Amino acid sequence: MRRVAVALAVLLVLASVPLPVTAHANHITAGAQVTPDGTLVVDGIYLTSDGYLTVHRDDGGEPGERIGVTEVTPRSFRSNLRVGIDQRAWEGWETGDVHLLVRSDDGDGTFDPETDPVIESFGSPVAATITVEKGDRAVVTAAQQYTQQTRRGTLDVRSLTTPTDGYLVVSNTDTGERVGTESVAAGTHEHVTVALDGDERGDVRLDATLHRGDGDGGIGEPLRAGETPVGATFTVERTGGGRGGSTATSTPTPALVTTPTASETGTTSETGTAGTTTGEPTSATQPGFGLLVGGAAIALLVSGYRRQ
């Protein structure tokens, strides 16, 4: 019975540990953004093998002409990866959607759209569709691989860039209720902490969007790429009540270039999602994983009693 109790304890601990939302499957997230030079910031990406990320114009809701490509290092979660829209396409750019497609290399180490296929997951392409507008840079990234846990009722936003003084507003994705705000100065900020209202516990999806000031010290309209607010979506597990957040510290805006060379950083922090994605694997924080572990624990317990 002692062995059963130990095994049961291990399983229950596993059920409570935050695991990668992407579960080490091919995955990409990105959000609507404004860019001055055609350089797009991809929130997060993971490939299980050598591959590429291609950018395509929208053609009636489907990927059309390819207008950008970058190589992606496999087997490592990459955040804030840059991919440039080709200069010729960018010169006459009009606000619209682009499709980001994840492709696998056919083994020759050279990109060829004819032989390097789009990766699929659960029957759908691993891709993201985002709105892109030309202008002063505005972007928010979650850039997180694990469900974000908070005991103090705060949300950590990995990075953001805003062209104007304003606010980062956090709302419940499902209800639209505003649950937190933080003032931000124009520029680039890392790890912005936003205090969340309420003391409820459990998993919740939150949208963090950039807003202008209204001129009187209040919150104005959201910054948009076309008609889409600039922001990111997070999955958060609240395990405790709220406290006050800290003011973001401004850092110099990094120079971005429109080249197909990836500029990326790895991360092992918490997970969020951003933008519209397809081919996204089931989250380890969703009911399926917990039920499997819970079921195994019950089976062990019953087995132990039967041996008595």
What is residue 252's predicted lDDT score, i.e. its pLDDT? Answer: 41
Residue 18: inside a domain = no
Q: Please give the Cα distance from 57 to 106 (Å, whole number).
A: 24
Residue 307: inside a domain = no
Residue 222: inside a domain = yes
- Are 127 and 140 contacting, i.e. CB atoms less than 8 angstroms apart? no
Containing domain of residue 256, as a range? 27-278
For residue 109 the two structure tokens come to 């180490």
- Are 229 and 34 contacting, i.e. CB atoms less than 8 angstroms apart? no
Is residue 155 within a helix (H) or strand (E), and if so which, with residue range? strand 154-162
Residue 59: inside a domain = yes
In the chain, the number of structural domains is 1
pLDDT tens-digit series, residues 12-33: 444 444 444 444 689 899 999 9
**Residue type for position 176:** G
What is residue 304's predicted lDDT score, i.e. its pLDDT? Answer: 52
Residue 252: inside a domain = yes
Residue 71: inside a domain = yes
Residue 76: inside a domain = yes
**Predicted model pTM:** 0.74
Give the residues of the chain that fall short of pLDDT 70.
1-24, 143-146, 241-308
Q: Please give the Cα distance from 191 to 164 (Å, whole number).
A: 18
C-alpha distances in angstroms, 121 versus 31, 70, 114, 252, 303?
20, 21, 20, 38, 37
Q: What is the largest CA-CA distance in the chain?
A: 77
Residue 156: inside a domain = yes
Helices marked H in 32-101 — which ranges?
87-91
